[in-house]
Each structure stands twice: as structure tokens, then as C-alpha cells.
């Protein structure tokens, strides 16, 4: 996504911004010409003027994914990539071991509606998890929906679901080939058969049933053009009500803003059925407006409750006219407030749980108590308080890890949660809310010995002195001699926190002798909104500095060395990898930017890309253009530079970060690369940004990733097949 065609002044400014001293042992460029012959990518005379600065974009034609030229280039690139990967001796044994490790039973956190429990289960290698229901925890689960029957190759995924309050109807959305476009259908829970209802052109939507089960609220866009539906910009989302048994054309428009093309809407109905709550968003910023509608009065209007985009507000529950929200309003690490609809002015808000030193992640109301989840240096902590904020207890967790769940109704006396860590497969717990006792509900059996591995947390110092944490996971007894192949992963954006989690892919990497590292960069949500804002717009370089600082620590402390250090990340993390490898190419032995945002000057022109300007800024703004062009991966590739061995990944149905980002970056990097390090691009088919990807495709992609690194980092060890520790 970058192009090596910046004016000299901007290139000089970029070089100054990236001027770190190289650590000892910096990798050297592989000598000689590239062993690969790359497909010819023509250059066109496309030059854009950004506030007086001319920027060339010679591979603009690759933005048209439907053109014959682009398709021919994609086919040729995939042939080069697969030919190179097929010559890796460890690739097949890696794939076999991944298949073994992936083959374990996995459960989602159960939830309850209308006296029935609902949860998903994957028996191991199923492409998609299967939805089950049961009327008690002792019952034999009954299959309700198997997405694997919707497509022979597993490329249709369950994207979302909502069960009616009586537990009799399931509204479920599906996504095909990884696209963000969803379709909603309704299934009778008793018979397992679908009704005639069919909703299309849904994207980024919740589904909220009315209490009577006669219909639901959802959000959608106008129907796009079929030929360009994976690339066209998405504006003017609308909130509708669908009455069961009627065609979509008869759906009632509940709320839209024809004067605000960027506003999106999420719907929630309160458990008492009284209110519809509408959360209005603008882009990806965690700053919302809140509206409500009294459903007990058919002619009631949508009424503003919070009518500005100044803070985040996440609805927890209501007790009558009193609404509980978590918010970062005047509290960057969040607090819980109670707002009475009869006197909603901010001066009348009551703080129930004040801001603490730890970051509030989520809260739910169960057993008339608030269950609050916090992050303490990116580790989960869970506390229970009463509705006045008085502490009740802390829910004990089994180690360093992450939790999710704790759903339920205000009157429920039980709840469920999942716990996972880097070496702890996701385990489901049931909590008795009266006693506070947690018991294991479902525990997976993965064929490895967790005692063979260790997780430690290390704080590094970024360029400006900021302390940045990272998790280092490896086999026990790690030798600090600089010889360890290391995979450094990061994200650093959109207020998203990187917390511990189990992955059979990462376990296979550690079996190969690799070290897995996750850096908690600014731009994320680990330390609240101020941490997030410190990695956005004109401050985005902080994210890359944090990542580079983590890499330097790993080298300077002899965990690894540049020739053994690989970096990876997806989406915004792909941008991170692209920026790091262009700013410090000598620091890394390999790079894997996955589905990355690489053209920071044009990202807002495709699908939902405009929404990211809240984090990135926009090239249409002169000051933000100057910041963007300094780090935009596409625009900071330079001819004759030795870049690390690189495997770029994308997919043909990615309509979140369109594949043109990766296409243009790959074509430019291949043209600019000096020496023998390969620059290849892996372009998946019938796949998207990542959500809902079939298990088979996940295994294939990871096998190629670790196979690529085994060759690029000169690793001899492969994971043992059918011989891992029990």
C-alpha cells in the first residue's frame, strides 16, 4: 500500500522521523539477485495532488479487482507464491501438526433465553462451529443450526444471532466467503425449520427482538451494485423494524439521518421490553450518541438521551427508568453511571462505580449485582459490586489470562464465562452468583503439556519514555543467546486491547522452538481512552515507535537477533508491520503483513474505510496528510532497499480492507527490493478479512505462515507429528 514515489522533502522528513540507532547484530541483506521472477506489473502515469504535493500511484489499476489485468496478475502472483512455499521441507509436517493441535472440542459461553440454553460447539476440525440448545444443563444438547451444511467448503459462516425472549425463535445472520455483507433468516427453535423471512444488505448490525417476539430491529444499507459491492463506499445506514411474516420491502424505517451519511445505528431492546435503545456511531471512534424510544407507546418518538459524540456509552441494563451505562466521560479508564430518564441532565447522573487505576472493559447486571471486568496491565480481573457500587467479591481466575461472558438477566442467579491464556485452552466456567462459586462447565483436551511453557510480562521503554508492556511466551528454559526464532505480534489501534489467548497456531510455533511475543501498543485500549488517543492521527507514529522499541528490547536482551526476528499483524496490525519494515528494515529477518491497510492516502475511498479516519485522520486534511504520508507503508518503500523476507496476505472477498492495499504494496515492494530476500503475496480465494474463516483455510494459512518463517529465519526444527507431549 505504499509507493516509492514521494518528493525528496517528504522522504527526508520520513528518514528523520525514523532515525533510531540500529541495534548490534542488525541483519544484512541477502546477497545476489532475487531467486524469484515476479510477474510484470505495468506502471501507469497516475499522479495525485495532495495540498500541493504530487504523489505518484503507478499501480492504481490494481484497485479494480474485477478487471482482467488484475485477475491475471493475481493468478501469476499466486503461482509464484505457491511454487516458493511448496519447496519448504517443513511445510507438510507443520500442516499435519496443526491439524492435530486444532482437533479438540471447543465451546462458546452459553447464554439463556426463555428457559433454554444456547451455545456453539466445534468437535475439532469442523469448518464452522455448530449451534446447540438444551432446556437444562443436564440435558443432551440438541443441534439447532449447523453452518457446515450451508456450503460444502465451509465458507458460509454464522455471523450473529439473537433469540426471542420466549426462546422460541432464532434470528441468525450469515456471511459468505468472509464478506461483511450479511443475510438474516429466522428459525423456529422447536422444529429447527426456517420461516420465510429473509433480510438482505445487512452490515455492521445488531438484531434486537421486541418482547412479544413478533419482530426485530436491525440496521442495513441500500442495495449496492452487484459488480462493485465488495468495494463501494458504505454510507447512510438505516435502522428498521421487521415484522415476522412480511417481506423486507414492508419493513418500517425506525430511524435514519439523511443529513449525516456517516452515522451508523445499533439497536438494543431492554429486558423489560419497555424501551428501544439506539446507539449512534460515527466512524470507528468510541464516541456515541444515545437515543431511546418508549415501545409501550406505539406513537412515541425517538428521543435523544446523550446528544453529542464526546464519549463512549455502553448500555448495561435498566431498572425502570434508571439506565446504567459504562462510560469514559470524564473518566478515561471508564466508570459506571446511572441516568434517570425523568431527569437525564448530566448534572443528575450518579456515579455507581468510579474510575479506578485499572481499565473497565465491560459490565453486566446479574442477580441484581454488577459484574465488572477490568484490565490490569492487559490481564483480566473480575469484581462483583451491588447496585450502589459496594464491593461484594472478586471472582478468582486461574492465572494470567483473559475472560469474556458474564451475561444474563437481572434476576438470574447464574452466569457463565470463558477463561483463556497463552498456554491455557479456552475453558468455560459456571458461576453461582449467590455463593460466588465458580465451577468448570466445559474444559477442552488439547494434546500438549502446559507445564512445558511459560508466560512472562516485560515492560519496555518507547522512544518518548513511555512504558509499554509485552507478553513473552516460550518453552521453559529459554536460552538468552540471541538465537531464538521470535514472532513479534501487534495491533495498536481502534481502542482494541491485545490480551492473552490460546491458539493452536501459536502452540505449534513454540513447538518449533519459536518465541511468541505480543506487544501492548498505544492506540489500543489496554490503559483506557488516553492510551488509545496517544496512538491516533498525528500521534500514530507512537504506535510504530512502541513496536520498534519492543523489537529492540528483544534483540538487546538476547531473546533473539534481527536475522531471527519476524513481525506479524493483521488489518491495522498489517499497517503496523508495513510501517515497521519500511522504517527499520534492518531490524527484522521476516515480515508478514496480513490484510493490511497499506495505502494511507486512499483507504477512505473504499467500503467502510472512511470510518477509520477517526483513528488515522484523512489525506483530505493538509496536516493529517503530512502525518499519513510519512508512515504510509506503500509510500515509504524505496527502490534499492534491502527489505526483510516478506509474505503479504490478503483475500479476494475482503470488503473490510480491500485487497488493492496489499496488491499495490506487493507490486511496489517487489520492484524496489534489493538482494535476495523474497517478497511474495498470498491471495486467498472465497475468503475475506478473517471473520468466519473455515478451520481448513485457517490451518492452510498458518502452515504457510510458519513454513515461510521456517525458511526465512533458517529454522531447522519442525513440530512433532503425533508425538507432542500429552
The closest alpha carbon to 373, from 423, 322, 428, 336, belongs to: 336
Query: Dihedral angle at the C-alpha atoms of 151, 155, 158, 159, nearest 10 degrees?
Result: -140
Query: Which cell is 26 given?
Result: 542488525
Cα dist from 286 to 302, 336, 611, whole Å: 22, 16, 11
As a whole number of angstroms, the distance between CA 543 and CA 546 comes to: 5
Q: Which residues pair with 281 in a beta bridge?
A: 264
Are the beta carbons of 410 and 317 closer than 8 angstroms? yes
**To which residue does cell 486534511 refer?**
621
∠ CA 172-177-181, nearest 5°, is: 55
Q: How many CB atoms lie within 10 A of CB 181?
A: 24
Instruction: Tally the C-alpha atoms within 13 A of residue 156's C-alpha that lie toward its C-beta.
Output: 14
Classified as helix, coil or strand, 439 is strand
Residue found by looking up cell 471472582 in the block: 395
- The residue behind cell 472465497 is 686
Q: Would residue 42 be called left, alpha or beta, if left means φ above 0 and alpha means ψ between -120 and 50 degrees?
A: beta
Q: Give the cell for residue 675.
A: 538482494
CB atoms within 10 A of CB 12: 11
Pairing of strands 645-651, 590-594: parallel
What are the CA-CA distances from residue 237 to residues 184, 201, 218, 256, 632 (Å)?
Answer: 16, 10, 10, 7, 29
Decide: residue 539, CB within 10 A, 0-12 exposed, 13-18 middle, 19+ buried.
Answer: middle
Tell me how far CA of residue 425 lies from CA of 103, 393, 444, in angstroms: 12, 26, 7
Element (DSSP H or E) covering residue 203 = strand 194-209
- For residue 473, what are the CA distances in angstroms to 211, 502, 658? 47, 11, 33
Laid out side by side, the sheet with 453-461 consists of 453-461, 467-475, 515-519, 486-489, 565-570, 590-594, 645-651, 679-684
Q: Torsions phi, psi of 289, nearest 5?
A: -110, 145
Residues 6+ apart with CB under 8 A from 371: 363, 364, 365, 382, 383, 384, 395, 406, 415
Which positions ≥6 away from 619 have C-beta within 8 Å?
50, 600, 601, 602, 604, 625, 628, 629
User: What distance lies between CA 688 and its chain's CA centroid?
Assistant: 13
Q: Which residue has the cell 468510541?
A: 286
Q: How many CB atoms lie within 10 A of CB 585?
A: 23
Which residues participate in catalysis according to the annotation? Answer: 571, 654, 689
CA dist., res. 121 & res. 653, Å (int) = 26
Amino acid at each position: 500500500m505504499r509507493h516509492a514515489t514521494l518528493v525528496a522533502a517528504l522522504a527526508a522528513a520520513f528518514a528523520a522521523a525514523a532515525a533510531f540507532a540500529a541495534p548490534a547484530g542488525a541483519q544484512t541483506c541477502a546477497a545476489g539477485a532475487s531467486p524469484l521472477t515476479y510477474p510484470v506489473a505495468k506502471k501507469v502515469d497516475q499522479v495525485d495532488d495532495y495540498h500541493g504535493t504530487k504523489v505518484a500511484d503507478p499501480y492504481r489499476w490494481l484497485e479494480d479487482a474485477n478487471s482482467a489485468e488484475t485477475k491475471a496478475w493475481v493468478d501469476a502472483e499466486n503461482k509464484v507464491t505457491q511454487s516458493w512455499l511448496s519447496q519448504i521441507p517443513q511445510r507438510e509436517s507443520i500442516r499435519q501438526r496443526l491439524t492435530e493441535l486444532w482437533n479438540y472440542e471447543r465451546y462458546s459461553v452459553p447464554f439463556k433465553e426463555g428457559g433454554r440454553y444456547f451455545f456453539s460447539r466445534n468437535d475439532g476440525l469442523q469448518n464452522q462451529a455448530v449451534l446447540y440448545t438444551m432446556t437444562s444443563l443436564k440435558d443432551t444438547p440438541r443441534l439447532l443450526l449447523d453452518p457446515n451444511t450451508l456450503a460444502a467448503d465451509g465458507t458460509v459462516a454464522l455471523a450473529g444471532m439473537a433469540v426471542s425472549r420466549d426462546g422460541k425463535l432464532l434470528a441468525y445472520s450469515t456471511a459468505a466467503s468472509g464478506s461483511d455483507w450479511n443475510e438474516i433468516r429466522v428459525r423456529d427453535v422447536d422444529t429447527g425449520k426456517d420461516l420465510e423471512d429473509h433480510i438482505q444488505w445487512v452490515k455492521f448490525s445488531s438484531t434486537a427482538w421486541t418482547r412479544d417476539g413478533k419482530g426485530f430491529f436491525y440496521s442495513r444499507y441500500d442495495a449496492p451494485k452487484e459488480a462493485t459491492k465488495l468495494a463501494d463506499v458504505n454510507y447512510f445506514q438505516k435502522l428498521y423494524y421487521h415484522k415476522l411474516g412480511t417481506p423486507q420491502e414492508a419493513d418500517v424505517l425506525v430511524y435514519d439521518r439523511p443529513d449525516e451519511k456517516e452515522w451508523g445505528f445499533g439497536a438494543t431492546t431492554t429486558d423489560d421490553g419497555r424501551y428501544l435503545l439506539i446507539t449512534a456511531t460515527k466512524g470507528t471512534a468510541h464516541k456515541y450518541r444515545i437515543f431511546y424510544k418508549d415501545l409501550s407507546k406505539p406513537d412515541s418518538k425517538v428521543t435523544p438521551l446523550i446528544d453529542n459524540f464526546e464519549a463512549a456509552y455502553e448500555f448495561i441494563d435498566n431498572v425502570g427508568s434508571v439506565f446504567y451505562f459504562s462510560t469514559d466521560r470524564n473518566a478515561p479508564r471508564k466508570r459506571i453511571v446511572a441516568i434517570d430518564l425523568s431527569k437525564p441532565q448530566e448534572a443528575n447522573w450518579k456515579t455507581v462505580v468510579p474510575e479506578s487505576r485499572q481499565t473497565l472493559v465491560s459490565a453486566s447486571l446479574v442477580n441484581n449485582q454488577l459484574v465488572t471486568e477490568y484490565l490490569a496491565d492487559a490481564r483480566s480481573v473480575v469484581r462483583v459490586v451491588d447496585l450502589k457500587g459496594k464491593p461484594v467479591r472478586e471472582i478468582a481466575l486461574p492465572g494470567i489470562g483473559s475472560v469474556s461472558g458474564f451475561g444474563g438477566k437481572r434476576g438470574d442467579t447464574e452466569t457463565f464465562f470463558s477463561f483463556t491464556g497463552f498456554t491455557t485452552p479456552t475453558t468455560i466456567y459456571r458461576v453461582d452468583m449467590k455463593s460466588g462459586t465458580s465451577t468448570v462447565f466445559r474444559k477442552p483436551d488439547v494434546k500438549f503439556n502446559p507445564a512445558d511453557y511459560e508466560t512472562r510480562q516485560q515492560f519496555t521503554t518507547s522512544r518518548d519514555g513511555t512504558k509499554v508492556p509485552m507478553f513473552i511466551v516460550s518453552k521453559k528454559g529459554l536460552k538468552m543467546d540471541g538465537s531464538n526464532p521470535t514472532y513479534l505480534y501487534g495491533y495498536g489501534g481502534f481502542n482494541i486491547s491485545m490480551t492473552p489467548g490460546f491458539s493452536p497456531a501459536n502452540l505449534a510455533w513454540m513447538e518449533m522452538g519459536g518465541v511468541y511475543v505480543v506487544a501492548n501498543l498505544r492506540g489500543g485500549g489496554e490503559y483506557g481512552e488516553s492510551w488509545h488517543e496517544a496512538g491516533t492521527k498525528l500521534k500514530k507514529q507512537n504506535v510504530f515507535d512502541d513496536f520498534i522499541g519492543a523489537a529492540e528490547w528483544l534483540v538487546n536482551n538476547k531473546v533473539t537477533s534481527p536475522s531471527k526476528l519476524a513481525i506479524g499483524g493483521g488489518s491495522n496490525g498489517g499497517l503496523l508491520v508495513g510501517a515497521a519494515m519500511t522504517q527499520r528494515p534492518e531490524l527484522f529477518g521476516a515480515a508478514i503483513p496480513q490484510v493490511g491497510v497499506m495505502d494511507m492516502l486512499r483507504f477512505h475511498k473504499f467500503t467502510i474505510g472512511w470510518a477509520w479516519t477517526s483513528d488515522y485522520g484523512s489525506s483530505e486534511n493538509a496536516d493529517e496528510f503530512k502525518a499519513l504520508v510519512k508512515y504510509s507503508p506503500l509510500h515509504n518503500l524505496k527502490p534499492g532497499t534491502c527489505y526483510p523476507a516478506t509474505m503479504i496476505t490478503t483475500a479476494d472477498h475482503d470488503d473490510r480492507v480491500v485487497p488493492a492495499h496489499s496488491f499495490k504494496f506487493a507490486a511496489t515492494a517487489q520492484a524496489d527490493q534489493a538482494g535476495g530476500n523474497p517478497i511474495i503475496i498470498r491471495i486467498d480465494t472465497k475468503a475475506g478479512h478473517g471473520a468466519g474463516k473455515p478451520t481448513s483455510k485457517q490451518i492452510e494459512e498458518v502452515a504457510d505462515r510458519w513454513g515461510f518463517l521456517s525458511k526465512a529465519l533458517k529454522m531447522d526444527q519442525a513440530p512433532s507429528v503425533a508425538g507432542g507431549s500429552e
